[in-house]
Structure 1
Amino acid sequence: MKKLLLKSLFILLLLTPMISAAHFPNQSYIFISVYETNGIEGRFEINTREINKVFNLNLRDNVTAEEFKPYEEQLKAYILKHAAFSSKYGSHNIVLKNVGLLDISQGTMVQVFFKLDNMEKLPQLLDVKYDVVYEKDDTHRGYLITENSWAAGVINQEANISLSFTPNETEATLDLSDTSIWKGLIAMIKQGVWHIWIGLDHILFLLALILPSVVRRVRKKETNVTGNSVSIESSNWVPVESFKDAFFYVIKIITFFTIAHTITLSLASLEIVKLPSRFVETIIALSIGLAAYHNIKPIFKGKDWIIAFVFGLFHGFGFASVLSDLGLSSENLGLSLLGFNIGVEIGQLLIIAMMFPVLYLLRKTKIYKKILLYGSIFLIIVSLYWVIERTFDIKFGLDDQFKSFIRRIINALGLWS
């Protein structure tokens, strides 16, 4: 039975990328973002292979922007003819904007961005008509994906299919009424948890901070050549005797880290303070190495919280960049900020809850000193790797592989939806 479960898990890990793929050649998409005060905007995405069918062209799979430019207006006119939105407030004209290209393994998706007019008030029901490509290919399928709808609890979800279209069903109605503040808040909490879980640099910084939580440096007195007794700090560590001592050490460190990143997350999200992204990410990488080095040779003797607080400020700017990337509008920024920060704290506590008991149980073993030393050296090496990568804007790809690995595990185990 155990072998069967392991095999099933392995198969799921392999299949997850295929199952979760959002784009296929014979499918086209309408991605929409719903805002309570700004109405609805989004983009159409159609594969170049499908465009070739419609216009009898011979565009290559990886077409460039320059190569496609002569066909932009033709595609826009075609979309306006084959797509429509309406509600009880009347017709919502499609105002087409710029055209972009998205390269995927199955070719190039042509993106046509748009905004709906006559949206002074958001309708509860939105009628959608969509019959792109069907006249040339009856196997083609169209999908409307609600990518963002804060009040519906949908944040940056490219696989959230709300409507589907076929040659026999080219019209459908989107229900926009199932919304609440709580859904939006909970969605942002989940985003906070998720981004701390896949934020390897944040996780390693936490690890560097709590590695010495279950041991203490010993001080011993030695006599110097003048005969005076002096106190020096040895490089040796002794395990703490009580769980209370170790636990309160963690509480103190994490409290200062939390206060720090909450301050800068708020300041950056409210656009009061801004720092260059590459600079912030480089300092975050550097923070791991310095915190790890502090475990080998103290930088701030007896004041470990200084590292947690000072570098926590930069980690807050890092969290803010993630919040910005989610494409949230200013109308829910306060609640988004609150929910995201709560999620970060929950995710952080869960990570510590997994790490700390293991460290505490191992503290009196001979191996723990080696874990502390060699673990810190490993963290310094990782830190230097990221510093080089981020300083010189070089992508080695390990971050993407890690995130993909985590997504596969979480999806396979059903821990996230």
Structure 2
Amino acid sequence: MKKMIFIIMLIMLSITSKQTPSVHAHTNNSEGYSLIQVHGETLEYELKLDLTELGHSMNKEMDENQRFDSKIVQDYVNSHIAIYADSVKIKGKIKDTAVETINERQFAVMNLNYELDQKPQKVILDYNMFLDDSDPSHANFATVKLQGEQQEAILSYESRELEIGEVNAFQNAKQFLLLGLEHIFTGYDHILFVISLLFGAKTIRNIVSLVTAFTIAHSITLALATLEIVQLPGRFVESAIALSIIYVALINIFNSDSKHQPWLAFAFGLIHGFGFAGILSEMRLDGNHMVTSLLSFNIGIEIGQLLIVSLVFPIILWLRKLTFQPVKWVIPGTSTAILVFGLVWFIERVF
């Protein structure tokens, strides 16, 4: 009987010893420390995280004798911590790493740099390290210093955000107007759609009606999507924008004498509005300046569109007045090139 009890105890001890590593794989109640300071157009973030918990979250063992890959850690940090400078999300680069012992625990120390376009008036930290994937009881003691102000908070599962500063109305309007301009001039699919519309415009009055219809339509859906009243899947929106380019390009190729109607610009403008809202969804819009942000962004887009129309439409009118025969192939040939771009974008976005 004693032998039996002894054997059972050995078996239980063996099972316990095998389970011990997995039981202690998590640190539980892990801690972290954040110190964010803004120096001119640079934001510096000193982040300290429990070394064992960080390794567990990344499925990689870490100790003070091992050098952890800063690129892998950098990607992990950027995917779990979002910092917004004046509503714009920024990403950091790890400058250096170290291991530090705090209260008999080892911590990974990471110094990250964030390059800014200008000195921010407002900074928001959205913290999600460990909270959803490895240690819901994790807490981070955070301090943010900006323009002589200091804000402190304990970030946890229930409270993940720290905010300091406030953007003034003028700075906010200027920022979003420039963002709208940048978005239209780097949104090549939107530019090609507008040019395709211009190919089917016969008079100044016609182009005014087309641009007006397109503007009203995309302004409606831009507002609805940004305010989260109506939202559509990003892939669907981007694919539909590519289809709008294909559709109008085909009309220009096979019926070059057709006159585009405002309803066409309005219908596709509704889809393009959701596309314009995509960039705003990546930002943390200030609730106090929501209307100003939307209006300024839209004005920036309209200024960009007017510049495109002012440059392209006179050239189109000039080409149509030329009697040189090969000129008749310029618009169909350009439309064919636009069609190819639309097809490539559609295939990329669907598949």
Q: How far 1:114 moved relative to its partner?
A: 7.2
Q: How far 1:206 moved relative to its partner?
A: 0.5
Superimposed CA distance per residue, residues 232-282 of structure 1 (whole angstroms, 9 cap, x where no aligned partner): xxxxxxxxxxxxxx2212111111100110110111111111100100000
Identify the residue that residue 200 of structure 2 maps to in structure 1: 212
Q: Distance in 1 between matches of 2:75 and 2:181?
A: 41
SS at match of 2:72: coil
Identify the residue that residue 382 of structure 1 maps to in structure 2: 341
| Consecutive unaligned residues in structure 1, runs of 5 or more | 1-28, 33-41, 47-54, 81-93, 101-112, 129-147, 152-179, 215-245, 393-417
After superposition, the Cα gap between the structure-2 partners of 1:56 and 1:308, relative to the gap in structure 1 and judged at 3 Å, is: same
Q: Give the paired residue count.
A: 244
Report the residue type matching 2:185 in the other structure: W
Superimposed CA distance per residue, residues 177-214 of structure 1 (whole angstroms, 9 cap, x where no aligned partner): xxx31121111111101100000000000010002335
1:193 counterpart = 2:202: no
Q: Distance in 2 between matches of 1:31 and 1:337?
A: 29
Q: How far 1:60 moved relative to its partner?
A: 3.2
The partner residue of 2:148 within 125, 128, 152 is 125
Identify the residue that residue 310 of structure 2 maps to in structure 1: 353
Identify the residue that residue 231 of structure 2 maps to in structure 1: 274
Matches within 5 A, 1:16-95: 30=36, 44=45, 57-63=66-72, 74-75=106-107
Please say if residues 300 and 306 of structure 1, whose CA atoms lie closer than 8 Å, have aligned partners that are also in contact: no
Identify the residue that residue 370 of structure 1 maps to in structure 2: 329
Report the residue type matching 2:334 in the other structure: G
Report the residue type matching 1:283 in the other structure: A
Q: How far 1:95 moved relative to its partner?
A: 9.2
Matches within 5 A, 1:143-154: 151=167
Please say if residues 95 and 116 of structure 1, whose CA atoms lie closer than 8 Å, have aligned partners that are also in contact: no
Please say if residues 150 and 184 of structure 1, whose CA atoms lie closer than 8 Å, have aligned partners that are also in contact: no
Identify the residue that residue 256 of structure 1 maps to in structure 2: 213
Superimposed CA distance per residue, residues 147-199 of structure 1 (whole angstroms, 9 cap, x where no aligned partner): x9772xxxxxxxxxxxxxxxxxxxxxxxxxxxx31121111111101100000
Q: Distance in 2 between matches of 1:349 and 1:45?
A: 45
Name the larger-Rg structure.
2
Structure 1 outlier segments of 4+, above 3 Å: 29-32, 60-68, 71-76, 94-100, 113-117, 297-303
Please say if residues 169 and 289 of structure 2, whose CA atoms lie closer than 8 Å, have aligned partners that are also in contact: no
Report the residue type matching 1:44 in the other structure: Y
Report the residue type matching 2:149 in the other structure: L
Q: What is the RMSD of the two structures over their aligned residues, measured on CA atoms?
A: 4.4
Q: Distance in 2 between matches of 1:250 and 1:95?
A: 45
Please say if residues 257 and 312 of structure 1, whose CA atoms lie closer than 8 Å, have aligned partners that are also in contact: yes
Report the residue type matching 2:288 in the other structure: E
The partner residue of 2:248 within 276, 281, 291 is 291
After superposition, the Cα gap between the structure-2 partners of 1:188 and 1:63, relative to the gap in structure 1 and judged at 3 Å, is: closer
After superposition, the Cα gap between the structure-2 partners of 1:382 and 1:330, relative to the gap in structure 1 and judged at 3 Å, is: same
After superposition, the Cα gap between the structure-2 partners of 1:332 and 1:363, relative to the gap in structure 1 and judged at 3 Å, is: same
How much identity, in percent, do the aligned residues show? 37
The partner residue of 2:128 within 87, 98, 103 is 98
Please say if residues 202 and 315 of structure 1, whose CA atoms lie closer than 8 Å, have aligned partners that are also in contact: yes
Q: Distance in 2 between matches of 1:361 and 1:66?
A: 52
